[in-house]
Homo-oligomer: A and B are copies of this chain.
Amino acid sequence: MDRGAVQTASGDKRRSDVPKRAPIQSGLPAYLNIVNTISDRISSGLYPAGSRLPSESQFCHEFAVSPMTLRRALLILADRGLITAEKGRGTFVRSLGLSDSVFTLQQLTGEWANGTTQVRLLSAATAKADAQVAAVLDIPPGERVVYLRRLLLKNDTPAVYQTEYVIFDPRRPLVESQLKLTSLHGLFQSARGERFSRGEVTLSAISLDPETARILDEPPAAPALCLEHIFRDSTGHAVSWGRFLLRSDLFKLKARLGP
């Protein structure tokens, strides 16, 4: 390409005499086309697992793009776990394993955040933190906390039982906004009055205690997914601690492996 002409600093708009970029398939950006093409070649077996990909400069020639664009595509593929790049050696096709599974809670809210769900506040009261709550929230035992219990229903079927302890802060009326939460979206998406910036979430399997089983309309000791969460404010202090108990027959987390 002989277009190494000096480009004057002022806006030199005469580009019509310069060949435009290669036509983009189906309107997608070039880097996405490259991602799809290489991805297809991997899944079709053209680039077998463990093999070395053509070098970046080879790809640049083939796709007629600049190194940065090609590199962007490779970074995306690496991010998806399909390839790994090793400095000085080359880029290789990864063979996927179980441990590459990635589970998201988006799916849950995706299926559940429609109109047929409702949130029922079972109780809301202030209480004094017992030893366990105090330890998790990092406050002195006996400090006042707000104890919330909610039940989420889908088509009038109990599906999720939530309990939560929120630090009581008179300066910040968290409670009021918390109590008004009657939509599932609010609970999951940007709950906590969008004040927290950090958090930890733990997923495990538990056995329902008799009372919870009754509330969820399940047999005693039925299995359930337990989603325990701690939210923290910008200073790192815990703001709330609680857990969602998800009926095991209604909630599954799904992940896909590969291209």
Where the two chains meet, the residues of A that have a C-beta atom closer than 8 Å to any C-beta of B are 4, 6-7, 9, 42-45, 49-50, 68, 79, 95-106, 108-109, 187-191, 194-207, 221-227, 229, 231, 234, 246, 248, 251-259
Contact = CB atoms under 8 A, between A and B. Distances in A.
B207 A99 contact: no
Given A200-B254, A207-B221, 13 more contacts: A44-B234, A98-B201, A102-B103, A198-B257, A201-B255, A202-B255, A203-B253, A204-B225, A205-B225, A205-B226, A221-B221, A223-B223, A223-B224
A103 B105 CA distance: 8
18 contacts: A4-B6, A49-B190, A49-B195, A50-B194, A68-B68, A97-B188, A98-B189, A103-B103, A103-B203, A198-B258, A198-B259, A201-B254, A203-B254, A205-B205, A205-B206, A206-B223, A207-B207, A223-B223
Contacts of A225: 204-205
A206 B248 contact: yes
B95 A194 contact: yes
